[in-house]
Amino acid sequence: MSMASVTALAGLAASFWLLRHEGAWDIYRQPLFLPFLSAAVMMTVFSTTAAAGERGDWRRFVIRVSIAGAVIQGLAGVIVSGNPIFDLHAKDIAVLAVLEALLIAGAGAATELGERIRPDTWIRTAGCATALMTLLALFPRVILLLH
C-alpha cells in the first residue's frame, strides 16, 4: 500500500470521526441543510468521472456548480426563513449560500489535488469525500458563530 493510499484512508477516517464527533451528523437531516448534502453527494459522484481528470474543464465545472449551489441554498434559506423557529435573517441566508459555494469549491479543489497525486485513481474521490466531511463538520459551528 502506497503512502498516498494510507494518507487518503487516514484522512477519510479522521474526517468521518470529526463529522460524527461534532454532532453535525444529525444537523444535516433538517430541510435547511439538505442542499449541503445534495451537493456533497453530487460532488462525490462527479469526482469519479473522467471530467475530474481534465483540469481546465474541471475548474470551470466547479465554478458553475458552486454558483448554482449557492443560489439553490439561498433559495432554500428564503423558503425556510418563513418559519419563525429558524430565526433566519438576510445575513444568515447569505452565509449559508457562501458556505454552499465553499463546500463545492473545497470538494473540487480536493478532487483536483487527488488527481495530481495519483491520476485516474480512487485517491481523487477519497480527497473529495475527506474535504466534504471535514467542511460539513465545521459548518454548524461557523453558522452558530455568525448567527
Residue-level length of the chain: 147
pLDDT in tens, 45-59: 999 998 888 999 999
Q: Which comes out higher in pLDDT, residue 34 or 5?
A: 34
> What was the pLDDT predicted at 32?
80
Whole-angstrom Cα Rg for the chain: 16
What is the C-alpha to C-alpha distance for residues 14 and 127, in angstroms, rounded to an integer? 12
Q: How many CB atoms lie within 10 A of CB 125?
A: 23
> What was the pLDDT predicted at 33?
83
Question: 94-110 burial string, b = 16+ CB within 10 Å, else e?
Answer: ebbbbbbbbbbbbbbbb
Domain limits, the chain? 3-9+32-146
For the chain, what percent of residues have pLDDT higher than 70? 89
Going by C-beta distance under 8 Å and a sequence separation of 6 or more, which residues neighbour residue 88?
A: 32, 77, 80, 81
What's this model's pTM, rounded to 2 decimal places?
A: 0.86
Distances (CA, A) of 101 to 14, 17, 70, 105, 130: 23, 24, 5, 6, 17
Distances (CA, A) of 94 to 76, 122, 124, 133: 11, 34, 30, 22
pLDDT in tens, 63-113: 999 999 999 999 999 998 888 887 888 999 999 999 999 999 999 999 999
What is the C-alpha to C-alpha distance for residues 131 and 51, in angstroms, rounded to an integer? 19
SS3 (DSSP) at 126: helix
> What was the pLDDT predicted at 113?
93
> What was the pLDDT predicted at 118?
87
Q: Which comes out higher in pLDDT, residue 12 or 65?
A: 65
24 touches 143 (CB < 8 A)? no
